Structure 1
């Protein structure tokens, strides 16, 4: 064993031939019991944990339930319901369906394939045809999928769910799928919001959901070269927790970090909230393995960069399950930052805030996270503030008087920016001074560390708000894009105007929720997130109405110079625009790779491409 190998810390017992690097004899064994059913912890028809969510309590107030998982857990939000009622005509008397038990008798019948099942059984941890397992693996988190589940309108389901335990298991399962002509759809955390996990209705073959979550080990950590080698089914928060115990982090923190997997990050080209320091997923990946119907794809070198033709990693990144299944990933890691500090800045309007974040990007002094909320999101955040003490309420009112009376801010125009700074104490202090100095040039006023932390953490509970809306005839969702700096302001205005016109045209009666934020910054532009929702009472097919409005908004985004997606991916709901985004020739390149690697369309989820492949 080489000296270099000795510096790699083995995290899990495994077969040497299944790893892509030599392993030291120093092992830390982690015991794990299987299976932990997803439905025992997570909701089957909504976002997140079963014990967490926004509910209207017996006192008529909205509170956030849960066992201390979030900063809002167990908190009563006295201002939230009145804000929703006054601003968006939110009506808690319009109670609809509230997490009904699924009628498993209505689950689609299995398309059986006993020869495949018998052949694959020795090569997986478990294989299931249980109705609940099939239901859980039949969907992601688009409005369409969740609304259908909650109303009992089931579509095509996977026929079997298979849990592999190693890379070699996956190789065998895929080779047997080829032999028996079985359709395979990879499954990680199930958090997808592009329809990518929906089973194609027209698929007549047996469909297998390949659940990667039992491949959740850190195989080794190389402290000398600052890399970690993991199985692709490891969930983001579990990866960070185990790295933290050893003094490291990846820094990749998407909104879905609690539930999404490393393989899912790679398959969708994900981005995290702290990408300014740590990079997007394509910046973090050093090496990966993907099993295709033609065999395993992997590089021989773990060097930091190569010049050996087009980078095969970029065929895998963003492939969305159409070429194969990602099994192992080597990622960059960093020592944990010495200090973490939140901050916030309040601006008179969104335009001033855009000027600030643009200047920060131009001067290349962005903190780990910098996110700008427009007025609607700012007011929503204020309405979600927990009940305060008398003294705290008094000081908050003084701050508002100062902003409006002495600084001339208008409440219905105020925008806010949240900051997260990481580094040494000296680096954080220097960066903080520089950021607030730039903010002052744009009329920005420091809003305090607590507001910065609250705004940052709010991101992790946004999806729970959407689920509460389902219970009271309210439909909502988010979508994102990336756009050049000189188009940010106009794009926000034009998309919001377009959504309002479409709502009116399609018969949406009450004022819709529409807000935007800048979430990631680059030299040449930014990522923009839009949040949109409306009361659907009186609409015959609310999901179809939503999809028409979102499609119109996407048309507006593309017309305004925005991208088809920044990090959610294409899936099925956006693939109609792929040719406009990549050109006919570009799409033909993707189709050629698909046909070469998967001529039988074994990985038949039908994401990205309009063709049957």
Structure 2
């Protein structure tokens, strides 16, 4: 009898524990769609007034439609044979760069006489007419949520910043498929309404944050016959509340990085999260791509900063009810959403850690005789846990590239001092200008700790032959961060294509990986008829206890090539294969592209090994992943052709379709059956 009582008690206690665990996943439900659509307080009057942020609803008013960044900011070569950077938005704006043109022509074999200008204005005739779902449109009108089906609005949200996307825009090529309309929710509850209507009327949604994606995630599948709606979160750009006791802020996910930092700075706080795209990328995009910022050594990556996520899925609003700093109940729903790249739902609100604005900030730089010495130094800095907020090691080619971007010196004395430094490093110390490398440093925190870490880092650097190179060089390296992306547009103006990709790798594989990937790129370019030597360079840009993030730049002069984009993609695919063969990851922070998704089995393991684990857990709903998706696999590794619905694959080689509805590849699959 006692045994039966004990068994009953154990069952009761177990049930209570399961109930508590379930309570950590809070999900709003109603009788129909599982979504409660409440009125957004700020829109209770039906107002469609634009929420003021740096980027307006009509992005084309201040931003390029066929390139990076602001319309008034760009690199150009003037009549004096010097490069300059236009506009007034950056520290580099209005300055001339006397060395850039010579570097450009010598590096790529290019000439400013051979120009390939971009199409200046969008031709509406190349944009397919919208395929509107009239029932959806009528229901959307009733909500008062603003929307548009104008060609410029639709094209602006039909692409990210992959090379093939920008190249096609510049060439003025006809679009196969673009979003049929753009909708601008003002708050979480607007998103709930939109997703509810999308499910009701079988409409595809593509979440759009800052538009800085380099994963082809914003491309619309040409064979999709349903109405595709771009859900632009840019009007969801407020800090809803700030808790100074717990040092957290609750923020709408559409806010872009520069606005988030500006608003927090007004109250004396910051996030410290600064990816290179932070000017234009959004908080929701950071979550969706598991982003990393250059100051992660102090502040952490996005997964370290997130406390709470609210997301709208076709089955309801998913969020935790507990906002404690850590729980032992798993699996953690946040880790399903982080890195999901828009395939599971729309991130609408995020609670994240904040910090007081640092008391003290100091830049620095170190010159090393060789790349190997620099890597060894960074490894030791990571081992001793004294890394500054940011430490980046540039190889020799990036060093010369950075030197070419140096503004014109206005003072004879400054020019004289620079000459002395160069003489000291190359002549007296014997550093080879063709082998030396530079590490840039950024220290942040309280003054005493910064100075302590600074001394420790420079002492370590000295043991590996490093020489302190001054604050100015370090500061200039970081100030260039936000203008580097503009250089690709300049290159394309003169028949040079360029792109970047990244990986993470254990420390003992860093040197081999860097060397082998560069050599593979050069070899592949030669085999594919690239007539001029390509630029291949890398930097160690993030450090961890067990490894580092390596960031590659790759560019070549495409004159004489029939299809430069196809050639580039073939070479990039080979470079990624080389990365994987050398022990690197598919991506550290960019996400998974259409091309690299074919290599995803190397990152997740073989499909035949994973599938039994998925199916034995729940044959009908395997971990919410896209194992039930029809196939959209290119016929060859570099082919973008999609196969017809009907064939099926597991998650490792499926490229999701679109937004919340990305799992709905087959138009005959009801919306309610797409996600568990």
Using structure 2 for the length normalisation, give the TM-score: 0.84
Moved more, 505-514 or 570-579: 570-579
Measured in 2, the distance between the counterparts of 1:575 and 1:88 equals 30
1:379 maps to 400
Deviation at 1:594, TM superposition (A): 3.7
Query: How far is 1:377 from its partner?
Result: 0.2
Q: Identify the residue that residue 269 of structure 2 maps to in structure 1.
A: 248
Which stretches in structure 2 are left out of the alignment for 5+ residues?
1-35, 41-49, 615-620, 631-644, 646-653, 667-673
Q: 1:417 and 1:610 mapped to 2: Cα distance? A: 47
Give the Cα separation in 2 of the matches to 1:341 and 1:32.
33
The 8 Å contact of residues 123 and 164 in structure 1, kept in 2 or not, is answered as: no
Q: Which residue of 2 aligns with 1:329?
A: 350
Describe the shift of the 1:152–1:99 C-alpha distance in structure 2 as closer, same or farther (beyond 3 A): closer
Question: Counterpart of 1:570?
Answer: 592
- Aligned counterparts, 1:51-66, within 5 A: 51-66=72-87
The verdict on how the C-alpha distance between 1:595 and 1:398 changes in structure 2, with shifts beyond 3 A counting, is: closer
1:187 aligns with 2:208: yes
Pick closer, same or farther for the CA change 1:358–1:60 going to 2, 3 Å.
same
Q: Which residue of 2 aligns with 1:78?
A: 98
Q: Which residue of 1 aligns with 2:506?
A: 484
Number of residue equivalences: 587
The structure 2 residue matched to 1:438, chosen from 460, 463, 470, is 460
Whether contact under 8 Å (1:288, 1:330) holds in the other structure is: yes
1:360 paired to 2:391? no
* 1:582-607 Cα shifts (integer Å, max 9, x gaps): 02255785964045999999x83289
1:426-505 alignment runs, 5 A limit: 426-505=448-527
CA distance in 2, matches of 1:108, 1:490: 48
In the alignment, structure 1 segments of 5+ residues that lack a partner are 1-14, 20-29
Query: 2:155 & 2:393 partners in 1: Cα distance?
Result: 38
Equivalent position of 2:314 in the other structure: 293
Shift of 1:333: 0.4
Residues 155-166 of structure 1: pairs in structure 2 closer than 5 A = 155-166=176-187
* Counterpart-to-counterpart distance in 1, 2:314 and 2:51: 32
Structure 2 distance, partners of 1:133, 1:395, is: 51
Q: Distance in 2 between matches of 1:534 and 1:144?
A: 15
Equivalent in the alignment of 2:11 = none
Matched, 1:343 2:396: no
Say which is worse superposed, 438-447 or 108-117, in terms of deviation. 108-117
Q: Distance in 2 between matches of 1:84 and 1:341?
A: 32
For residues 369-411 of structure 1, give each alpha carbon's deviation from its aligned partner in whole angstroms, at most 9, with x where no partner exists. 0000000000110111111122222221211111111111000
The yes-or-no answer on 1:236 pairing with 2:289 is no
Which stretch has the larger CA shift, 150-159 or 519-528?
150-159
Q: Measure, in 2, the Cα distance between the counterparts of 1:576 and 1:526.
A: 24
1:221 aligns with 2:242: yes
Q: Secondary structure at the match of 2:448?
A: helix
Q: Which residue of 2 is the match for residue 122 of structure 1?
A: 142
Equivalent residue for 1:517, pick from 539, 547, 561: 539
Structure 1 residue corresponding to 2:281, chosen from 233, 248, 260: 260
Measure, in 2, the Cα distance between the counterparts of 1:60 and 1:104: 36
Distance 1:400 1:90 in 2: 28
Q: 2:657 aligns with which of 597, 604, 608?
A: 604
Q: Which runs of 4+ in 1 moved over 4 A?
A: 15-19, 585-592, 595-601, 606-613
Q: Given the superposition, is the C-alpha separation of residues 124 and 563 from structure 1 closer, same or farther in structure 2, using an over 3 Å criterion?
A: farther
* Secondary structure, counterpart of 1:593 in structure 2: coil
Q: Which range moved further: 120-129 or 210-219?
A: 120-129
Q: Is the 8 A contact 1:289 1:296 kept in 2?
A: yes
CA contact (8 A) 1:347 1:416 kept: yes
Q: How does 1:405-416 map to 2 (within 5 A)?
A: 405-416=427-438
Among 319, 328, 336, the alignment partner of 1:315 is 336
What SS does the aligned partner of 1:169 have? helix
Could you tell me how far 1:539 is from its partner in structure 2?
0.5
Superposed CA deviations along residues 56-105 of structure 1, whole A, max 9, x for unmatched, are 112221101111x2221111000111111122212111111235211112
